[in-house]
Structure formats: C-alpha cells, structure tokens
Structure 1
Amino acid sequence: MKLFLKEQGMRIDLPYGELDVSGNEEYGFRPFQLMVASIAGCSASVYRKILDKQKIDYEDLIINAEVERNEMEANRIESIHLEFVVKGRYLDEGKLYKNLEVARKNCSMIRSVENSINIKESLECIEINS
C-alpha cells in the first residue's frame, strides 16, 4: 500500500479506487473513522458468512458503531460498541449470539486491536412477519 501526500492529507490508490485520508473530514475520511469502519466491516463480513453458511433467513444486517475517545491521550479510541441489528424470519436469538462470538474470534481486525481497544458487541433481533 502506497500513500501519497496531498495538500490536506494523504491519498491511497487501491484496486477498488482512491481513498482520501485527512484529519479534516472536509478533505477525506478521518483516520479514526477508517479504523472503526474496518473493525465493524470485518466483524460484519465474518458474521454474514456464518449466517449464510448456516442458512439463517435474514433480510438485513445493520451495524451501529458507538466510539469513545480519550482527549487526554491524543484522542485515542478507548472503546467501540458494535450493535448488530438482524432483521429476518424465525430468528433464534441464542444462536445469533453464539454466531457473534464465533465471528469475534475470527475477525482479524478485532483480534489485531483487542488488547488496546475495548470492543463490545450487542444484538437486536427484529422479526419480520409475512
């Protein structure tokens, strides 16, 4: 991965496209946003694979991420709460929680930061009738 200097930050050329990174969100994605998105995105991707493999009937998966940062420590990320919202039919909440634990153990991004950022997951099941 190669990063290139630009006036208000950095640019990364990736196979999918260009990514602008800046401490000012008028000029690009802020580094903390990318870190949270990579943790949430990795976790969701692994979770989705598990749900698909088990043929769980879900229509939608949404992740809400809440971030706590410490201004006294260079605004470091202290904790991330990932709320998984699963919408579907005949959902087994116990099974969905177990799958979330398996996803956590297999998410490379969570495993990379687990000793420095407190990551908590929760689950909301929304049953769809029809």
Structure 2
Amino acid sequence: MEFKMKENGFTTNVEYGELHISGDSDYGFRPFQLLVSSIAVCSGGILRKVLTKKRISYSDVTVQAEVVRNEAEANRLEKIHLHFIIAGEELSETKIEKALEVTRKNCSMVQSVKDSIEITESFELVQA
C-alpha cells in the first residue's frame, strides 16, 4: 500500500476505491476509527462464516464497538469491547459462545493486537 500526503491527511487507493485518512474527521477517516473498524468487521465476518459452517441459522448480525482510550499515553487504544447482536430463531447461547471462541482465534485483526489492546466480547440474542 502507498499513502500520499495531502494538505489535511493522506490518501491511498485500494481495490474498492480511494481511502481518505486524517487526524481531523472533516477530511477523512481517523486512524483509530479504521483500527476499530478492522477489528469489529473482521470479527463479525469470521463469526458469520463460523455460524454458517456450524449450520446455525441466523438472520442478522450487528457489532457494536465500545472503545477505551488513554489520553495520558498519546490517546492510545487500551480496550475494545465488541458486543454482537445476533438475530435468529431458536439460537443457543452455548453454541454462540463456542462460535465466538472460534471467531476470536481466527480473526487476524484480533490476533494482531491481542498483546497490546484488550479485546472483550459479549452477545445478545434477539428473535427474528
């Protein structure tokens, strides 16, 4: 990847299109937003694959991310809590817990930051 400096940030071109990145949200995605998004969406995507592979029927998955930052240390990300809202019929809490364990082990983004950012998960099941 190549990042080109602009007046208020950087841009890069990826397969999907041009990505604008800036410390100022008026000019692009903020770096911490991209990091949190990568972790949340990677986890959600892996969870979807695991549910499908285990033949667990679901109709929707939403991932909410709560972020804790440390202002005293360059505003570093210290903790990301992922809350999965899984919609479906007759979902088993035990099976979802096991699916989340597999998800955590197979999400490359979670595995990349696990020793520097605390990642926690919770879930709720809703009737579809």
- The answer to whether residue 57 in structure 2 is matched with residue 57 in structure 1 is yes
Number of residue pairs the alignment of both structures matches: 128
- For residue 127 of structure 1, what is the aligned residue in structure 2? 127
- The answer to whether residue 67 in structure 2 is matched with residue 70 in structure 1 is no
- For residue 92 of structure 1, what is the aligned residue in structure 2? 92
- The aligned amino acid for 1:118 is E
- For residue 112 of structure 1, what is the aligned residue in structure 2? 112
Equivalent-residue separation in structure 1 for 2:18 and 2:54 (angstroms): 35
- For residue 34 of structure 1, what is the aligned residue in structure 2? 34
For each residue in 1:10-32, what CA deviation from the matched residue of structure 2 results, as whole angstroms up to 9, or x when unmatched?
00100110100000000000000
For each residue in 1:80-123, what CA deviation from the matched residue of structure 2 results, as whole angstroms up to 9, or x when unmatched?
00000000011011100110011000111100100000000001
TM-score under structure 2 normalisation?
Answer: 0.98
- For residue 12 of structure 1, what is the aligned residue in structure 2? 12
Instruction: Structure 2 unaligned segments of length 5 or more: list them.
Output: none
Equivalent-residue separation in structure 1 for 2:15 and 2:107 (angstroms): 22
Deviation at 1:53, TM superposition (A): 1.1
Equivalent-residue separation in structure 1 for 2:78 and 2:54 (angstroms): 34
Instruction: Structure 1 unaligned segments of length 5 or more: list them.
Output: none
Deviation at 1:54, TM superposition (A): 1.6
Report the aligned-residue RMSD.
0.6
- For residue 22 of structure 2, what is the aligned residue in structure 1? 22
Deviation at 1:127, TM superposition (A): 1.9
